[in-house]
Amino acid sequence: MEINIQTVGMTYPNGKQALKGLSLDLRSPSLVGLLGPNGAGKSTLMKLLVAALLPTTGSILVDGQPLTRVERQLKARLGYLPQDFGLFDELTVEQFLDYMAALKGLRGPRAVIRQVIRSVNLEEKARAKIRTLSGGQRQRVGIAQALLGDPELLILDEPTVGLDPEERIHFRNLFSQTAQDRLVLLSTHIIEDIQSVCGQLVVINRGQVLFSGTPEALIQTATGHVGIFWEKDAAQEDGLHITARVNTGQGVRCRAVADVLPPFAQPSDPTLEDAYLYLISQEAVQ
C-alpha cells in the first residue's frame, strides 16, 4: 500500500488552520512514528487518513487513487485507534469486540476475537465488563478493536497512553511485528516508543512536516549541537535549550541543545530525544 499526502491543508470550521500544505509519502511495509508537540496536527492528519475528516485543500492518494473515491474499500483494509474512543461500559470485552467485528463485516468473528484478545494480553478480562477495567486495560481493548481483521493499514493515535512500561514494550514489539508486511502509523509523545522500532520518523509542528526519515538521520542533524556543562558555568542560558538537569554531589550537571554551543559546554553525542528537541527549538526561534 502506498499513501501520498499532497499539500494537504485542514482548517476547522472555527478558523483554526491545523495543517498547512502538508506533503508526505508512506509506503508499506513500514512502521512510521509520528512525533510532534501538543497541537502540532498529528490527530488531524490521522483523521484525514481514515477519512473521518475531509481536507480543505490538497489531496490524499491511496495506491494512486483519490481517497474520496476508494474510501469504502479502504475502510475494510483499515484499523484505527482514535485518541478518544468511546467504549460501551456495560458490554464485556468480548461483546464489544463482537460488535466492532460486525461493524467491520468480519467473517468467523469468534476466532478473530479470541486472537486479538490474546495479542493484547486480555484473556483474563475477556468476560469482564468494560466499566470494571483499568485505564491501561481499556487502552488495550482499543488496540484490540484496531487489530480486528488483520488490517493492511493500522493508524494508532497515541496507542501506548496509560500503559505500564512492560506493556509498552509488549505493544512496541507487537506493532513492529505487525508492520513487517503492512503499514503502521503511530503517534506518540514517548520517544522510546519509536526509537528502536520505527524505520521512518515524521516530525510535524504547526501543521507542517519538519522532518521525515530514519531515526538515525534525525540524530545526525543534532551532531555538534548537544553539550553538557555545570549549571554554574551557564551564567546566562540564552540560546540554550536545557534537556536535562541532574543533581550530583558536585553540583547540577546540565545537558542542552543549541545552534552554537557555548565554549563552556563539552560536546556530547546526540540522542534521538536531543535531536527532536533541537529540531523543535529551531522552529521556535524562527
- Is 54 a binding residue for ligand ATP by CB under 6 A? The answer is no
Interaction of residue 43 with ligand ATP, rule CB under 6 A: yes
Q: In what order do the strands lie in the sheet with 57-62?
A: 17-27, 2-11, 57-62, 65-66
| C-beta closer to ligand ATP: residue 18 or 74 | 18
CB-hemisphere CA count at 13 Å for 85? 25
Is residue 8 within 8 A of residue 18, CB to CB? The reply is: no
Whether the CB-CB separation of 79 and 120 falls below 8 Å is answered with: no
Contacts of 281 (CB under 8 A, 6+ apart): 241, 257
Q: Which position has the grid cell 480486528?
A: 148
Q: Residue 118: helix, strand or coil by DSSP?
A: helix
Chain residues 74-133 in contact with ligand ATP, contact rule CB under 6 A: 83
In angstroms, the CA 272 to CA 195 distance is 7
- Per CB under 6 A, 18 contacts ligand ATP: yes
Answer yes or no: are the C-beta atoms of 196 and 187 closer than 8 Å: no
Coil, strand or helix at 56? coil
- Which stretch, 10-18, 95-103, 112-120, 163-171, contacts ligand ATP (CB under 6 A)? 10-18
> Of these, 8, 26, 31, 36, which contacts ligand ATP (CB under 6 A)?
36
Selected from 14, 236, 248, 250, the binder of ligand ATP by CB under 6 A is: 14
# residues near ligand ATP by CB under 6 A: 13
- Going residue by residue from 201 to 220, which x/- string records binding to ligand ATP, judged by CB under 6 A? --------------------
Q: Which stretch binds ligand ATP (CB under 6 A): 12-20, 106-114, 239-247, 271-279?
A: 12-20
Does residue 200 interact with ligand ATP by CB under 6 A? no
194 binds ligand ATP (CB under 6 A): no
User: Does residue 52 bind ligand ATP (CB under 6 A)?
Assistant: no
| Residue numbers at the binding site for ligand ATP (CB under 6 A) | 12, 14, 16, 18, 36, 38-44, 83
